[in-house]
Structure 1
Amino acid sequence: MAGEEGQGGTVVTPSAEFPPLAEEELATLRGIGARWRAGGRRGELPVDPTLGRYRRRPPGRFGRLAPIELFKVEEPDELVATEPANLPGSRWGRAVTRLRRTLFGPPLSSAAVLYERMRKLVALPVLSSDLLSSVAYGPEAMLSVLVLAGSGSLGLSLPLAAVLVVLMVAVGVSYRQTIRAYPHGAGSYVVAGDNLGTGAGLAAAAGLIVDYVLTVSVSVAAGVHAVTSALPGLAWATVPLGVLVIAVLLAGNLRGVRTAGNIFVVPTYAFVLAVVAVLVVGWLRAAGRGFAPVPPPAVPAAEGLGLLLVLRAFASGAVSMTGIEAVSNAVPAFRPPEWRNARTTLGWMVALLVLLFAGLTVLIHLDGLVPRPGETMLSQLGRVTFPTGPWYALLQVATTLILLLAANTAFNGFPRLLFFMARSDHAPRRFLHMGDRLAFSNGMVALAVAATVVFVAFDGRTEALIPLYAVGVFLAFTLSQAGMVVHWRRRRGAGWRRRAAVNAVGATLSGLVLVTAALAKFTQGAWLVVLAVPLLVLLFARVHRHYATLHRALALHPPGAGPAPTAPAEVPGVPAEGEELPQQVRHLVVVPVARLNRASLRALAYAASLGQPTLAVHIAPEEGEADRFRQQWAAWGDQVRLETIVSPYRAVIGPLAHYLEALHASRAELTLTVIVPEVVLRRRWHRPLHSRAEQRLRSALRALPGVVVTSVPVHIAE
């Protein structure tokens, strides 16, 4: 994994999709350019490429769609589109484009990426919604396991909560150090890959991917559960409501970072204020009775209290920490100075998490509440704290909103993780692309689809999804913090031992939670995550292998590393690479002709105009038809050499493809340019009336090396 992932990165811009050439490739490129110049000078163009004569009003059909300048001349030999006004030509295409603009907003200029940043007060709710919302179900998840041993075991929630608070602080401080060491943004994937090797980085990425998908599924499931707790009559609509919420989250995030931030600010702060109000009123009521705990209702034990049950409870409570790594992934999304604002925001997040988690756990213990089906523990706590007035309803509304919108953290982290992976060729390169609103839209869509599949597969049940939750994220935590220990040992700057010790504590505690969660929850569904992680690692490795093969095939090789020269002329020190120089290309133009009509004659005329050797090929189903076609060809004047092939089984595409392959095999240095006449139909419903053989031929020839396929269209007006 490239070291530039962590330290040498810059602000993420749309240009990241187009990496620069290496110095060796640039040197090779200069040599190839010298060969081009030796082969002849480029001629003058028959048109003005700057479109200078059309700057006042663009010609053609675009003029009526956009009465503005489509282009302006920024520099010599450079045009700049003034705005994306070129709507698709069809009525349906224009309608779809207008709908997209309405839902997601107008496209943003690439230069606007510098302004699509978040200030700390916006970044806090955007990046902490997952972390803070988890306190709505984290304490309940822990107590739901303890209560299996009877109500007498619920007292263990306090020491377990204390250990979890230590873990939260340790991991939070560790990630603050990660932000300082990787000021341009680096999550577990980059840190583990830089310091522990590519395999560790891919394992961390796999864990995070599973975690982000589950974050969306669990958050939406918990939010819908909060709705059905207050309105039990809606329980039947759990799955449709969840799918609708995921779609709304996707649409909101596709509108861009700033817009999404403005959407999610109010619900997050409302939830924090609502829970703080519960804590203040609840603790005042507890103080009135001298902090004496209310005895919980008697619950019979379903299993014995043992170490395994306690560990399961601890691992279940640890889900309250999911999302703590989001800030380290999103450092480039902050306003300058990015790393300092990110560290500050992470500090606020951890402080709020500790306050809410510890406060709620202790208050639940003081009020003697126990988990029960059909109502969340936060809902129970709200009813006890606010028995009258509108405050309980406000708490439930705020809780529902934060749980439903907690998935927004994943919509920030998941696409950025795929961006880093795609930059290292471990994920499809389409995830490098920024959409119309300067958001990683492809990654967001992939997350929404995966989360919807998981949500529907588990019927939107929070209790079924929670056991899958901790393994992936704590795998990433552990590898990231272990990687930071190696990082500080390598750097050995001032205070490196203290920093390494902090990260070592975080790695140890995270590793303990990882092992505990994997073992204790294995039979409850965690085996799915244990299986998914190595499968994802294998998938990422295969993707990287494909891109490595592609790079070797397309790279400009340095002297001595390229293929053998195919042309006699050489420039000293520069390899002659096959068909990269105009003088190396040897043409044969082939025109498949089914019948002599306007389309085929236009294709033949186009082929002859190229001034290259041209061959026409006709596939006949029987000898008689072949004779008739040769007579028609003679009547035309036999202007181009014709070769007829009789196909007694009436196949056309297969015999023609095999014939072209044989032609190329007989003269491997030839480039076969196949010119296909194509009828372009205006109306979609006319297409089934035609065989579309040209498209099937193009598909068949695409796999043949040394064959170029082009079309000569004939447009039908009706």
Structure 2
Amino acid sequence: MLNKIKRLLIGRPMKSTEIEEEKLSKFKALAVLSSDALSSVAYGTEQILIILMAAGFAAIWYSIPISIAVLGLLTVLIFSYRQTIFAYPKGGGAYVVAKDNLGVSIGLMAGGSLLVDYILTVAVSSSAGTDAITSAFPSLHEHRVLIALTMILFLTIMNLRGITESASVLALPVYLFVFAIFVLIISGVIKYISGGGHAEVPELGTAVSNISWFLLLKAFSSGCSALTGVEAVSNAIPNFKQPAERNAAATLMMMGTILGAMFIGISLLAYWYGITPAPKETVVSQIAANTFGRGILYYFIQGTTALILFLAANTAYSAFPLLAFMLAKDKYMPHMFMVRGDRLGFSNGIIFLGVLSALLVILFQGHTENLIPLYAVGVFIPFTLSQLGMMVRWVKLRPAGWLIRFIVNTIGMFTTLAITLIFILTKFNQVWMIFIFLPIVIFLFFQIHRHYLNIADELRIDMDEEKPVIKGSTIVVPVAGITRVVMNSLSYAKSLTNHVVAVYVGFDDEDIARMEKKWEEWNPGVRLITLRSSYRSIIRPLMRFIETVEWKTSETDHITILIPQFITRHWWHYFLHNQTGLLLRAYLFNHKDVVIATVPYHLHK
């Protein structure tokens, strides 16, 4: 039954040889890997205006120079990451660049920051998409958590079906959003030029008495949240069709161009229309209402905006599993993240991302606005480390034309470092937890790495000197009575060795005498040892007996504990029986260096 549901949701298993069919074209990659960055135009301008409103309505004109500054930073990042793509065509982005050029610890800082950022991306995007829906339909505001969780579940299932299939499904909404925003911008500009939609707004350069550099820097850092997701293309180069690095670079340039045009367009319309943030209506919703009224086009824009905000999480679903794979390959994350699922995606990474982001949504009740600064810091730390790593690379290698590349990465490093510091200084009360959480994540990376190294060291053998040791075998079979299950287990044990002993634990002398009499009558050719338990415990006497056998024979024989087990026809039948065998197995696994085996006997009634 469960397998049928899995096949229905996930699809048929794919052969390993079909991996090339799962690679992305530029058209699909732009939709999958750029959805996070493109969606940020829905809230980037709004984040700037929220901060500026602290100085009053007169300060909103500052949103234009701040938006231009954000656009400049976007340009620097696009060209910087383009260089990273060609320098590291196997992907990994900031983690690989920093580890290769700045050391393992710095690389893990970049990798850990990105992993946290991707989890926050899913939580913030699903909540922001819910905000867009509730702006159009306020009656749904009470169901925001359920709406966000439903979308996370949908994206998790879609990505478990494979990256190509999810790209095919999700490309249409992404391109519809781009089309809708450009229709909104062009229509809004035409309306403004033709004399409609004018509002009484402060002119550019108007003096504002209570404005401060601190406030402007805070607004700028908030606007830089629109740049999250820019690094995703450089992380996911292995997901592209060949030539992978060229296709990735072209996708990155397309994304930067589209993002820049949409972001500055929304900022200009918000200023011209005198839009200010509202508690239950987004800035994009207000612009659309002013441009078209609350008609079909308004709901089309709100619908596509909600979709893109939800689908922004899909960028994380593409990048998180691949980054987790690379960390696992280097032994800094559990090896389960290296396993490809039925549809050739890294399923464990996809499920892990979905579960953690859903927990965040539940914890914050869908109000993840306070996570946006943490979300932005989580990506600007890797931005800075990646640029610094590329600077070190150019100085070390000095290839032809390296100086120009070095200058580009230097500008990128100092700019992103400044933004990171601005975020920390202006929003410390919202991002302080990164200074606690990130060291813990790095510590866990090192602990996992040390565990894998210790295991490898302990399991390694000298192939010239160490060979298998041939020993005899003594089999101990715990029995609870004389049944077909016991007979089946003894038959198997005797087929392996003549050194078989059955052990019975009784609670009183009468019980033990009855068992010894029946055993003698049955005479299976196996010696029975009876043990008395004064405290009604089966496990304790068995353990003492096994210790005795182990001490006497471990030099000459392998000790095998052969546990009889009947398998019920229906799963719920298990609750009707004692699970002594399971308890015995669990105890032996953790406390004894003996072989543990189970002989199943399947019941038919």
TM-score (norm 2): 0.94
What do the CA deviations read for 1:227-283 (whole angstroms, capped 9, x no partner)? 111111211111111111111111222211111111111111111111112222222
* Structure 2 CA distance for aligned equivalents of residues 357 and 661 of structure 1: 72
2:314 matches 1:424? no
Q: Which residue of 1 aligns with 2:270?
A: 364
* Structure 2 CA distance for aligned equivalents of residues 303 and 419 of structure 1: 53
Paired residues for 1:376-387 under 5 Å: 376-387=282-293
Paired residues for 1:125-144 under 5 Å: 125-144=31-50
Is contact 1:661-1:704 (8 Å) kept? Answer: no
AA partner of residue 295 (structure 1) = V
Deviation at 1:621, TM superposition (A): 2.1
* Structure 1 CA distance for aligned equivalents of residues 549 and 229 of structure 2: 60
1:202 aligned counterpart, secondary structure: helix
* Structure 2 CA distance for aligned equivalents of residues 425 and 630 of structure 1: 55
Q: Which residue of 1 aligns with 2:465?
A: 575
Q: Which residue of 2 aligns with 1:36?
A: none
AA partner of residue 548 (structure 1) = L
Q: Which residue of 2 aligns with 1:193?
A: 99
2:445 matches 1:540? yes
What do the CA deviations read for 1:428-464 (whole angstroms, capped 9, x no partner)? 1111111111111211111111111111221212533
The one of 229, 251, 254 aligned to 1:345: 251
Q: Which residue of 2 aligns with 1:167?
A: 73
Q: Which residue of 1 aligns with 2:82?
A: 176
Is contact 1:131-1:322 (8 Å) kept? Answer: yes
Is contact 1:382-1:395 (8 Å) kept? Answer: yes
What do the CA deviations read for 1:660-687 (whole angstroms, capped 9, x no partner)? 2343244544421111111121123322
Paired residues for 1:519-530 under 5 Å: 519-523=425-429, 525-530=430-435
- Quickly say closer, same or farther: Cα 1:169–1:666, change in 2 above 3 A: farther
The one of 505, 508, 521 aligned to 1:619: 505
What do the CA deviations read for 1:32-79 (whole angstroms, capped 9, x no partner)? xxxxxxxxxxxxxxxxxxxxxxxxxxxxxxxxxxxxxxxxxxxxxxxx
The one of 647, 650, 661 aligned to 2:536: 650
AA partner of residue 442 (structure 2) = V
- Quickly say closer, same or farther: Cα 1:303–1:631, change in 2 above 3 A: farther
The one of 428, 439, 442 aligned to 2:348: 442
1:584 aligned counterpart, secondary structure: coil
1:316 aligned counterpart, secondary structure: helix
Q: Which residue of 2 aligns with 1:713?
A: 600
Deviation at 1:134, TM superposition (A): 0.3
Q: Which residue of 2 aligns with 1:212?
A: 118
2:455 matches 1:550? yes
2:596 matches 1:596? no
Is contact 1:657-1:700 (8 Å) kept? Answer: no
Paired residues for 1:456-495 under 5 Å: 456-495=362-401
1:676 aligned counterpart, secondary structure: strand
Deviation at 1:625, TM superposition (A): 3.4
The one of 561, 565, 568 aligned to 1:678: 565
Alignment gaps of 5+ in structure 2: none
Is contact 2:130-2:306 (8 Å) kept? Answer: yes
2:22 aligned counterpart, secondary structure: coil
Deviation at 1:688, TM superposition (A): 2.4
- Quickly say closer, same or farther: Cα 1:202–1:643, change in 2 above 3 A: same
2:370 aligned counterpart, secondary structure: helix
Is contact 1:615-1:640 (8 Å) kept? Answer: yes
Is contact 2:473-2:559 (8 Å) kept? Answer: yes
What do the CA deviations read for 1:315-366 (whole angstroms, capped 9, x no partner)? 1111101111111111111111111100110111111111111222123222
* Structure 2 CA distance for aligned equivalents of residues 388 and 412 of structure 1: 35
2:599 aligned counterpart, secondary structure: strand
2:56 matches 1:150? yes
AA partner of residue 339 (structure 2) = H
- Quickly say closer, same or farther: Cα 1:154–1:454, change in 2 above 3 A: same
Is contact 1:488-1:500 (8 Å) kept? Answer: yes
Superposition CA RMSD, Å = 2.3
Q: Which residue of 1 aligns with 2:24?
A: 118
Q: Which residue of 1 aligns with 2:310?
A: 404
* Structure 1 CA distance for aligned equivalents of residues 410 and 541 of structure 2: 67
The one of 544, 551, 575 aligned to 1:688: 575
Is contact 2:568-2:602 (8 Å) kept? Answer: yes
Deviation at 1:636, TM superposition (A): 4.0
AA partner of residue 598 (structure 2) = S
Is contact 1:148-1:303 (8 Å) kept? Answer: no
What do the CA deviations read for 1:488-535 (whole angstroms, capped 9, x no partner)? 222221122222222222122111111221232221x32233322112
Is contact 1:677-1:712 (8 Å) kept? Answer: yes
- Quickly say closer, same or farther: Cα 1:659–1:527, change in 2 above 3 A: farther
2:223 matches 1:336? no
- Quickly say closer, same or farther: Cα 1:302–1:616, change in 2 above 3 A: farther
Identity of aligned residues (%): 39
Q: Which residue of 2 aligns with 1:31?
A: none
TM-score (norm 1): 0.80
Deviation at 1:391, TM superposition (A): 2.1
Deviation at 1:390, TM superposition (A): 2.7
* Structure 1 CA distance for aligned equivalents of residues 572 and 303 of structure 2: 50
* Structure 2 CA distance for aligned equivalents of residues 312 and 661 of structure 1: 68
Deviation at 1:658, TM superposition (A): 3.5
* Structure 2 CA distance for aligned equivalents of residues 417 and 393 of structure 1: 37
Greater shift after overlay, 399-408 or 513-522?
Answer: 513-522
AA partner of residue 351 (structure 1) = T
- Quickly say closer, same or farther: Cα 1:231–1:293, change in 2 above 3 A: closer
AA partner of residue 673 (structure 1) = T
- Quickly say closer, same or farther: Cα 1:317–1:585, change in 2 above 3 A: farther
AA partner of residue 135 (structure 2) = S
* Structure 2 CA distance for aligned equivalents of residues 286 and 222 of structure 1: 28
Higher helix share: 2
* Structure 2 CA distance for aligned equivalents of residues 443 and 526 of structure 1: 25
What do the CA deviations read for 1:597-650 (whole angstroms, capped 9, x no partner)? 322222222212113522332222234433443344444447334433222112
AA partner of residue 552 (structure 1) = D
Greater shift after overlay, 280-289 or 405-414?
Answer: 280-289
Deviation at 1:695, TM superposition (A): 1.5
Greater shift after overlay, 604-613 or 675-684?
Answer: 604-613
Alignment gaps of 5+ in structure 1: 1-94, 560-573
* Structure 1 CA distance for aligned equivalents of residues 495 and 542 of structure 2: 23
* Structure 1 CA distance for aligned equivalents of residues 443 and 558 of structure 2: 38
The one of 664, 682, 689 aligned to 2:550: 664
